[in-house]
Amino acid sequence: MGIFPAIDMIATGNNIARLRQRNGMTVQDLQNVFGFSTPQAIYKWQRGSAMPTLDNLVVLAAVFGTTLDAIIVRTGDAAGQLSA
């Protein structure tokens, strides 16, 4: 068997931040979408120090009008990254 792909958490976090900005949303806007009492989880996602749960990724994709593949970046998968 070959090497299995892994999620590049930092690149995925960069995608979340970029998509949020492109959609004219603030961190507080996302905080309100998810009903979080603090924005810490969103900041952790954007830094790549934590990943959203699968159900939160589905919500992010819907809010951003995109697919999970456009958010998640796999190691060695440059095509999954959004251009700056």
pLDDT tens for the 84 residues of the chain, in order = 557 889 999 999 999 999 999 999 999 999 999 999 999 999 999 999 999 999 999 999 999 999 999 999 998 654 444 444
Q: Determine the 3-state secondary structure of 7 from DSSP.
A: strand
Domain locations in the chain?
Answer: 9-80
SS3 72: coil
Residue 75: predicted pLDDT: 87
Q: How far apart are CA 47 and CA 53, in angstroms?
A: 15
Domain covering 9-80: architecture:
Orthogonal Bundle (1.10)
